[in-house]
């Protein structure tokens, strides 16, 4: 177990997002934004949003997710995404972690994967459809796509019986297939009967201890061991697409799952055989100190007797008489770098890539030494290479790791979607039938639920004509934007404009939405029936022989 914090260094990722956010014209207004995802005026009211995978708290301050947790804004990346899904265009997908890695693979025709999981605790509803659609879209873009039933989690964390789980598991998979998931191209599985998954979970579990579970999830002495096992199982789910081959992988989820994503990203790094960093001399330096060293190296012409061979001590003297580089997170890094340089004395200051031995076997370490081309220097726990780019070094480290039995995982990426508002206001909840529309609801029931939904309308028709409706706060508008308008941006925009312009009144608007919902449900349920056959061919067990 290493002592690395769960948060991996942010600085590597921050500069990867394209900077063309301003060019993004949002065709369709967002449910509670103004034309594009904008932090709400009251953002910041909650200064401590807890992201809790099993809690019932709504995340009502998305801005905090960017500031506090380092989730990045999706909009900045949108122009790079080939043929983006409407949920992306409409800002329903609002955030990501390192999704640029996946986008790059998509654009370059390189392999990539997508995976998400569903806890079978109730009927699949319109909120789950978002994730189904996200998976299917990634599959259509050429990704290896996985959908899983988190039955171990449902049993251990939610206490559902196996009989209930079996029934719901079928329903989730049927809807996923009915919406267009191609099971020939992708993989569907249940956690409970996937042996490779459970073996991976076991291995990953040896990298996580109880203190960490406590810190991340608030587990305590009363938490059952199976519950904890369901967490490492989810870690295995997230890394599963990379078991055969490491590849960029996206996990589409709600932001409540972010703690899982962060832990999985950390585990991906922890299991690696070698870390690859940059260095300027034989000693170790932290990122801030490296910034200082890089500055000194750049300026070597100004202080070195022989600019082809600048010495550490010369750099120390020069730095001591110059201003601190202003881009340091830790201002103390200047002094500590100077101290290290002095201690290194006459050693040349020379850029290099460094391979750190993290979990390598002796054989792998030896093999890496062999494999490094050009000048290299071997130390106790690391190897310095002088003629390799960072990127080539990363590739080489992974190659050697894979050849010696390692996983070579890339940190998984994620995208986050907004939660839908319940039809009765507040949170959409699986346990409150009136708050959501189940994909199994009778089309007539769906119609009725929409008809009785709360709206963002005004008290009277007159006021509505005068002031316009509040589409931004309207669950019915959300239904249009998230589902009923489908790919038709024009239509979604029309509903929005007519609403806020006062031309649309809630009665008619709901009638239109209710009819569309009835059609959607009827059509979906027909497709579910057709999908029965596909599901039967899949050889997934729905009769758990468990108590």
Name the one range near ligand TRP by CB under 6 A: 62-70, 115-123, 381-389, 444-452. Answer: 115-123
Pairing of strands 113-118, 144-149: parallel
Three-state DSSP state, 546: coil
Instruction: Provide φ and ψ at 93, rounded to 5°.
Output: -85, 115
Please, which of residues 206-245 interact with ligand TRP by CB under 6 A? 234, 237-238
Q: Does 420 bind ligand SF4 (CB under 6 A)?
A: no
End-to-end Cα separation, the chain, in angstroms: 35
Residue 457 binds: one of ligand SF4, ligand TRP, none (C-beta under 5 to 8 A by kind): ligand SF4
Q: Does 447 bind ligand SF4 (CB under 6 A)?
A: no
# residues near ligand TRP by CB under 6 A: 13
Tell which phi-psi region holds residue 111, choosing left (phi > 0), alpha (psi between -120 and 50) or beta. beta
Q: Does 456 bind ligand SF4 (CB under 6 A)?
A: yes
Q: In the complex with ligand SF4, which residue's Cβ is closer, 186 or 457?
A: 457
CA gap 371, 399 in Å, rounded: 10
Nearest CA to 375 out of 366, 383, 387, 392 is that of: 387
Cβ–Cβ under 8 Å, residues 255 and 415: no
Which residue in this structure is represented by tokens 């921050």?
Answer: 14
Q: Does 253 bind ligand TRP (CB under 6 A)?
A: yes
Residue 473 beta carbon to ligand SF4: minimum distance, rounded to whole angstroms: 8
Name the one range near ligand SF4 by CB under 6 A: 6-14, 86-94, 203-211, 450-458. Answer: 450-458
Residue nearest to ligand TRP as judged by C-beta position: 117
Please, which of residues 133-152 interact with ligand TRP by CB under 6 A? 150
Q: Does 410 bind ligand TRP (CB under 6 A)?
A: no
Tell which phi-psi region holds residue 142, choosing left (phi > 0), alpha (psi between -120 and 50) or beta. left
DSSP H or E run through 314: helix 312-320
Query: Alpha carbon 535 to chain centroid distance?
Result: 28
CA gap 206, 229 in Å, rounded: 11
CA gap 401, 491 in Å, rounded: 52
Tell which phi-psi region holds residue 425, choosing left (phi > 0), alpha (psi between -120 and 50) or beta. left
| 384: β partners | 354, 377
Q: Does 197 bind ligand SF4 (CB under 6 A)?
A: no
To 5 degrees, how large is the angle CA 280–CA 282–CA 284?
Answer: 80
Q: How many residues does the chain have?
A: 547
Name the one range near ligand SF4 by CB under 6 A: 239-247, 352-360, 364-372, 454-462. Answer: 454-462
DSSP H or E run through 21: none
Q: Does 469 bind ligand SF4 (CB under 6 A)?
A: yes
Q: In the complex with ligand SF4, which residue's Cβ is closer, 392 or 454?
A: 454
Q: In the complex with ligand SF4, which residue's Cβ is closer, 218 or 507?
A: 507
Q: Does 477 bind ligand SF4 (CB under 6 A)?
A: yes
Three-state DSSP state, 52: coil
Q: In the complex with ligand TRP, which residue's Cβ is closer, 150 or 385?
A: 150
Q: Does 510 bind ligand SF4 (CB under 6 A)?
A: yes
Cβ–Cβ under 8 Å, residues 376 and 365: no
Beta strands across the sheet bearing 413-417:
72-73, 93-97, 413-417, 249-253, 113-118, 144-149, 187-190
Residue 123 binds: one of ligand TRP, ligand SF4, none (C-beta under 5 to 8 A by kind): none
Among 471, 479, 492, 521, binds ligand SF4 (CB under 6 A): 471
Instruction: Provide φ and ψ at 383, rounded to 5°.
Output: -130, 135
Residue 483 binds: one of ligand TRP, ligand SF4, none (C-beta under 5 to 8 A by kind): none
Q: Does 204 bind ligand TRP (CB under 6 A)?
A: no
Q: Does 257 bind ligand TRP (CB under 6 A)?
A: yes
Residue 427 beta carbon to ligand SF4: minimum distance, rounded to whole angstroms: 18
Among 73, 153, 171, 472, binds ligand TRP (CB under 6 A): 153
Cβ–Cβ under 8 Å, residues 130 and 482: yes
Residue 236 beta carbon to ligand TRP: minimum distance, rounded to whole angstroms: 9
* Alpha helix (H) residue ranges in 452-505: 461-467, 475-479, 489-500
Which residue in this structure is represented by tokens 């709504």?
Answer: 58
Q: In the complex with ligand SF4, which residue's Cβ is closer, 337 or 474?
A: 474
Q: In the complex with ligand SF4, which residue's Cβ is closer, 174 or 495?
A: 495
Residue 149 beta carbon to ligand TRP: minimum distance, rounded to whole angstroms: 9
CB atoms < 10 A from the CB of 546, how many? 12
Q: In the complex with ligand SF4, which residue's Cβ is closer, 247 or 504?
A: 504
Q: Does 450 bind ligand SF4 (CB under 6 A)?
A: no
Name the one range near ligand SF4 by CB under 6 A: 222-230, 241-249, 258-266, 469-477. Answer: 469-477
Residue 499 binds: one of ligand SF4, ligand TRP, none (C-beta under 5 to 8 A by kind): ligand SF4
Nearest CA to 214 out of 200, 228, 232 is that of: 228
Q: In the complex with ligand TRP, which residue's Cβ is closer, 117 or 411?
A: 117
Cβ–Cβ under 8 Å, residues 270 and 2: yes
Q: Does 117 bind ligand TRP (CB under 6 A)?
A: yes
Name the one range near ligand TRP by CB under 6 A: 73-81, 112-120, 343-351, 355-363. Answer: 112-120
Q: In the complex with ligand SF4, which residue's Cβ is closer, 31 or 406?
A: 31
The sign one gets for the Cα dihedral 226, 229, 231, 234 is: negative
Residue 504 beta carbon to ligand SF4: minimum distance, rounded to whole angstroms: 4
Tokens of 285: 């330096």
Residue 87 binds: one of ligand TRP, ligand SF4, none (C-beta under 5 to 8 A by kind): none
Which residues of the chain form contacts with ligand SF4 (CB under 6 A)? 455-457, 469-471, 474, 476-477, 499, 504, 506, 509-510
Which residues of the chain form contacts with ligand TRP (CB under 6 A)? 53, 115-117, 119, 150, 153, 234, 237-238, 251, 253, 257
């Amino acid at each position: 177990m290493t002592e690395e914090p769960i948060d991996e260094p942010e600085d590597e990722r921050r500069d990867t997002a394209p900077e063309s956010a301003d060019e993004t014209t949002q065709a369709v207004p967002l449910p509670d934004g103004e034309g594009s995802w904008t932090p709400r005026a009251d953002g910041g009211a909650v200064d401590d949003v807890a992201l809790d995978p099993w809690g019932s708290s709504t995340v009502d301050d998305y801005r905090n997710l960017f500031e506090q947790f380092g989730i990045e804004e999706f909009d900045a990346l949108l122009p790079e995404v080939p043929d983006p899904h409407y949920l992306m265009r409409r800002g329903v997908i609002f955030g990501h972690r390192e999704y640029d890695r996946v986008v790059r693979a998509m654009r370059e025709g390189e392999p990539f994967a997508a995976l998400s999981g569903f806890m079978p605790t109730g009927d699949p509803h319109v909120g789950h459809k978002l994730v189904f659609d996200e998976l299917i879209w990634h599959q259509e873009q050429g990704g290896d796509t996985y959908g899983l039933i988190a039955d171990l989690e449902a049993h251990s964390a939610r206490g559902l019986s196996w009989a209930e789980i079996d029934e719901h598991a079928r329903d989730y998979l049927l809807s996923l297939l009915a919406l267009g998931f191609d099971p020939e191209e992708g993989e569907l599985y249940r956690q409970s009967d996937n042996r490779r998954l459970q073996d991976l979970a076991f291995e990953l579990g040896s990298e996580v201890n109880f203190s960490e579970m406590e810190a991340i999830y608030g587990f305590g002495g009363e938490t059952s061991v199976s519950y904890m096992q369901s967490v490492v199982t989810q870690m295995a789910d997230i890394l599963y697409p990379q078991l055969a081959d490491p590849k960029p992988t996206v996990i589409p989820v709600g932001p409540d799952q972010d703690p899982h994503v962060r832990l999985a990203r950390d585990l991906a790094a922890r299991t690696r055989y070698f870390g690859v960093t940059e260095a300027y001399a034989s000693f170790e330096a932290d990122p801030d100190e490296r910034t200082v060293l890089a500055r000194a190296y750049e300026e070597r012409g100004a202080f070195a007797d022989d600019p082809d061979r600048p010495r550490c001590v010369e750099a120390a003297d020069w730095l001591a008489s110059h201003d601190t580089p202003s881009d340091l997170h830790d201002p103390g890094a200047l002094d500590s770098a100077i101290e290290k340089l002095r201690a290194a004395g006459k050693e040349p200051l020379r850029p290099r890539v460094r391979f750190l031995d993290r979990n390598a076997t002796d054989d792998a370490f030896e093999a890496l030494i062999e494999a490094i081309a050009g000048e290299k220097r071997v130390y106790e726990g690391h190897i310095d290479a002088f003629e390799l780019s960072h990127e080539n070094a990363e590739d080489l480290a992974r190659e050697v790791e894979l050849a010696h039995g390692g996983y070579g995982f890339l940190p998984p990426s994620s995208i986050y979607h907004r939660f839908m508002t319940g039809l009765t206001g507040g949170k959409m909840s699986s346990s409150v039938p009136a708050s959501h529309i189940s994909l199994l609801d009778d089309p007539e029931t769906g119609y009725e639920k929409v008809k009785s939904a709360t709206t963002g309308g005004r008290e009277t028709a007159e006021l509505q004509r005068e002031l316009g409706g509040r589409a931004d706060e309207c669950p019915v508008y959300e239904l249009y934007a998230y589902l009923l308008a489908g790919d038709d941006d024009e239509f979604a925009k029309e509903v929005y404009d007519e609403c806020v312009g006062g031309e649309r009144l809630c009665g008619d608007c709901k009638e239109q939405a209710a009819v569309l919902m009835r059609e959607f449900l009827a059509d979906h349920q027909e497709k579910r029936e057709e999908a029965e056959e596909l599901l039967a061919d899949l050889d997934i067990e729905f009769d758990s022989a468990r108590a």
